[in-house]
Structures are given as structure tokens and as C-alpha cells.
């Protein structure tokens, strides 16, 4: 068996019911989502977390008895109208495979396509005319038929609910957008997606979760996210042992090709993020595909190369910052512990605070739930050769 075969087991792709044997942890989160789907009669819910942590994956595991579950994407558009159109188009398309509602869904999709084509066609025409500096009246522009679109959406949902009892709508990919854009999108559709027997679950970026919890707790002055979301499930990064298990499940047939230390180092590198774990092991195998077996030197070399490339602009450190790094290789603890640790290596207290801040900003030091530690990306690299002194 050669390393070539290993690469195909290390692909980054969301898991689903068919590949559930590769899933580690997340039973609790999936159960909560399934309960929203099954027991709540309407409302908007969310699943949030950093990119690569597994949002699409958990959405793929949402099941509900006696309900129709559909996953769609909506892409960000400039205007409220076009977001609504996008939503209707994608939902209609997803429903076209449902026997009893297929025909109506197809008609609605065709209607939307036509609307968009005619408005867009006109707008294009106008811009050509306008560039020839001919005056035109704004009032002559054909408008998106917003109210008709809303009615079509309602029709589609009501019909589905009638036939299937309930519709669970999973909206993925909004997590790729910036917070402000997500908020704008949500604002645009929130009143269009409140229907009895429609449960909507959205994938959201981490920043929205932070905002949401602050609103719930009344820490934000003008918070209103708790008006939009009934609840949000937050996906914490996985534990190091879960990350290791995830890798082992993928390559278990070829474990002899990878040393234990390699799995250990890849798991540190990931810092709890499944995508990063798969990525680093894939890269390492790929770059050493001619070797018989992957050992510590190989993965460390790959990490050093990647860190050198991706962090290049952050790698210039002051003497004190570097001193701090050396002291922190195996550190985990509170800010107070951290300051104490730095003081032990001869750094003044006030300086220690600012060093901590700088290293967090450079993402070299991680802060999670009040606990500081060195990012796993740096744990196994030779810092003296990697970092340049300023
Ligand atoms: N709990 C898990 N167990 C095993 N692999 C996982 C798990 N969660 C995510 N992954 C893997 O990590 C990668 C990123 O997951 P994905 O669901 O696409 O993340 P997100 O949607 O949050 O960006 C995928 O390759 C997926 O297979
Ligand atoms: Mg995703």
C-alpha cells in the first residue's frame, strides 16, 4: 500500500448520513437541531461557528419525522428584492423533486426566472442607453414585483406544508459572508419566512453568535438579534482527541503509513478545527508522496513551509515577543497565569500585558473561553529559524 492511496481518504468535504461512520462527536448538537426541526412549530434558528468547524456537516444530519427537509443556499445580493428572488428560486428548485408539488414548484421557478430576466435585461439596456447620455425617467424602470414574489413564496410554503405537514428549510453558506451582510440579508427575509410549520435553520458566522448572545444577555444597547433567532447552536472547536480520532477514522486502513507522532502533531496544528486537521495531513502526504511512510520530520517541514507562507507578514517579532514565545510552548491558563509565567522569564508586568495583546492579535496566542495557549500552528516548528527579530 502506498501513500498515493492515502490522499483520497483525506478530502475536505462535508459529511452526510452516508458517511456518518466518519463523524466524531456532535451528537448533542445534532440532537438539538433535530429537536428544533421536530418539536418547534415555526421560527428561525441558527448554527454558528468558525469556518471549517462542521456547520454544513451537522446540517446534513438534520432529520425530522413527518416533515420535508430541504437544504438550499442563498447568495448575497445587493437588494432585498433579489435576496427574496434567490430564496424563492432555490426553494422552488429543491421542491421540484417532490412528486405532489413538483409541478407548482416548477411553475414558480419559471415565473421567477422570467421576472429576473426581464428586469435585468431592461437594466442592462438602460445602462447602454445611459452611457450614450440619453436621459431616461427612473419611473419607467420595470420594478421587481416584490409583492407578487412574496405571495409566490407563501404559496410554495403553504402547499408544501399542506402536503408534508411541515417544512424544514436549511440555509447554508451565509456563514461565508461578513456579519453586516448577513444581518442585512436576514433583515430582508425575516418577515417572509415566518410561517406556521416552517422551521428555518441557518448556518452563521461566529461573529453573529457573539452578537446574538450579547443581545440575549442585554449587553448590547440596541440588540435585536434575539428577535430574529429563537435559538442558536454554537459549534465549539473539537477536542484534540476528537481531532485525532477523526483522522484515524479516515485513514484507518492505512495506519501503518503514518507514525503516531504525525497524528499528534496534525491534531495540535488543527486547534480543534476539523478542516485544518484534514488539510495539514493531506498536504503532508501530498508533498511526500514518494516516501514509504510519513514521519515527524515530514509533517514538521510541511508545517514550517505553510506557516512561513501564510504568516509571513506576522513573523517579525521583537526580542521580548520572542522571549515570550519560548516560555509559552506548553502553557495553558488564565491571563494572570500567563503574566506570571512571562514575569518568570524576566519580562516586566506592564510589558507582559502588551505582549499578550500583540501575540493574540497576530493569532500566535489563542484565547478561548478565557484560556490562553500557543496556537498549535507554532507548537512544533523551530521558532528561532521561523521568526525574524525586528
Ligand atoms: N464532527 C466531525 N467529524 C468528522 N469530520 C468532520 C466533523 N465536522 C467537520 N468535519 C470535516 O471537516 C471539514 C469541514 O466541515 P464543514 O461541515 O464543511 O464545515 P463548515 O461548514 O463549518 O465550514 C469537512 O471536511 C468535514 O468532513
Ligand atoms: Mg459550510
Asked if 229 and 214 count as a contact pair (C-beta separation under 8 A), the reply is: no
Q: For residue range 254-288, what is the model confidence (pLDDT) as tens digits? A: 999 999 999 999 999 999 999 999 999 999 999 99
| Total number of residues shown for the chain | 390
Please give all residues whose beta carbon lies within 6 A of any atom in ligand 1, as ranges: 12-15, 22-26, 49, 51-57, 246, 274-275, 278
In this structure, are strands 198-204 and 42-48 parallel, antiparallel, or unpaired?
A: parallel
Burial of 184 (0-12, 13-18, 19+ CB in 10 A): middle
Q: For residue range 361-383, what is the model confidence (pLDDT) as tens digits? A: 988 999 998 999 999 999 998 87
Phi, psi dihedrals of residue 134, rounded to the nearest 5°: -100, 135
Distance 238 CA to ligand 1 centre (A): 10
Distance 258 CA to ligand 2 centre (A): 28
Q: Identify the nearest ligand to the CA of 246 by its number.
A: 1
Highest mean pLDDT among 113-117, 119-123, 279-283, 380-384: 279-283
Distance 274 CA to ligand 1 centre (A): 6
| pLDDT at residue 161, rounded to an integer | 95
Nearest to 181 by CA among 75, 321, 33, 98: 75
Q: Which value, to the nearest 10 degrees, does the dihedral of the CA atoms of residues 87, 92, 95, 99 take?
A: 170
Q: For residue range 233-252, what is the model confidence (pLDDT) as tens digits? A: 999 999 999 999 999 999 99
Highest mean pLDDT among 176-180, 197-201, 319-323: 197-201
Asked if 356 and 347 count as a contact pair (C-beta separation under 8 A), the reply is: no
Q: What's the Cα-to-Cα distance from 337 to each of 320, 332, 344, rounded to whole Å?
A: 18, 9, 11
Write down all domains in the chain, each with its CATH number in brackets.
3-11+240-310 (1.10.8), 26-234 (3.40.50), 313-389 (1.10.10.10)
Amino acid at each position: 500500500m502506498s501513500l498515493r492511496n492515502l490522499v483520497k481518504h483525506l478530502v475536505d468535504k462535508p459529511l452526510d448520513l452516508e458517511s456518518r461512520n466518519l463523524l466524531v462527536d456532535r451528537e448533542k448538537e445534532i440532537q438539538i437541531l433535530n429537536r428544533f426541526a421536530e418539536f418547534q412549530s415555526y421560527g428561525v434558528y441558527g448554527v454558528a461557528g468558525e469556518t471549517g468547524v462542521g456547520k454544513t456537516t451537522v446540517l446534513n444530519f438534520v432529520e425530522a419525522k413527518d416533515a420535508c427537509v430541504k437544504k438550499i443556499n442563498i447568495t448575497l445580493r445587493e437588494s432585498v428584492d433579489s435576496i427574496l428572488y434567490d430564496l424563492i428560486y432555490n426553494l422552488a428548485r429543491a421542491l421540484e423533486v417532490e412528486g405532489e408539488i413538483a409541478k407548482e414548484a416548477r411553475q414558480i421557478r419559471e415565473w421567477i426566472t422570467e421576472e429576473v430576466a426581464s428586469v435585468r435585461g431592461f437594466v442592462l439596456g438602460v445602462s447602454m442607453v445611459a452611457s450614450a447620455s440619453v436621459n431616461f425617467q427612473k419611473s419607467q424602470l420595470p420594478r421587481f414585483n416584490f409583492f407578487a414574489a412574496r405571495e409566490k413564496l407563501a404559496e410554495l410554503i403553504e402547499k408544501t406544508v399542506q402536503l408534508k405537514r411541515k417544512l424544514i428549510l436549511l440555509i447554508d453558506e451565509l456563514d461565508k459572508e461578513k456579519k453586516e451582510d448577513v444581518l442585512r440579508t436576514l433583515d430582508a427575509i425575516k418577515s417572509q419566512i415566518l410561517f406556521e410549520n416552517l422551521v428555518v435553520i441557518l448556518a452563521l458566522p461566529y461573529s453573529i453568535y457573539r452578537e446574538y448572545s450579547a443581545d440575549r444577555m442585554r449587553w448590547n444597547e440596541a440588540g435585536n438579534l434575539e428577535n430574529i433567532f429563537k435559538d442558536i447552536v454554537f459549534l465549539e472547536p473539537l477536542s484534540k482527541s476528537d481531532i485525532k480520532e477523526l483522522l484515524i477514522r479516515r485513514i484507518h486502513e492505512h495506519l501503518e503509513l503514518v507514525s503516531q507522532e504525525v497524528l499528534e502533531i496534525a491534531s495540535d496544528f488543527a486547534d480543534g478545527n476539523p478542516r485544518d486537521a484534514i488539510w495539514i495531513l493531506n498536504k503532508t502526504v501530498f508533498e511526500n508522496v514518494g516516501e514509504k511512510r510519513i514521519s515527524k520530520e515530514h509533517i514538521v517541514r510541511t508545517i514550517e513551509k505553510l506557516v512561513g507562507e501564510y504568516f509571513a507578514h506576522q513573523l517579525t517579532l521583537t526580542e521580548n515577543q520572542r522571549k515570550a514565545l519560548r516560555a509559552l510552548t506548553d502553557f495553558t491558563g488564565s491571563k494572570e497565569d500567563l503574566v506570571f509565567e512571562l514575569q518568570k522569564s524576566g519580562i516586566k508586568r506592564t510589558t507582559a500585558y502588551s505582549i499578550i495583546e500583540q501575540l493574540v492579535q497576530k493569532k500566535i496566542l489563542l484565547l478561548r473561553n478565557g484560556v490562553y495557549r500557543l496556537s498549535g500552528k507554532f507548537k512544533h516548528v523551530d521558532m528561532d529559524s521561523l521568526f525574524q527579530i525586528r
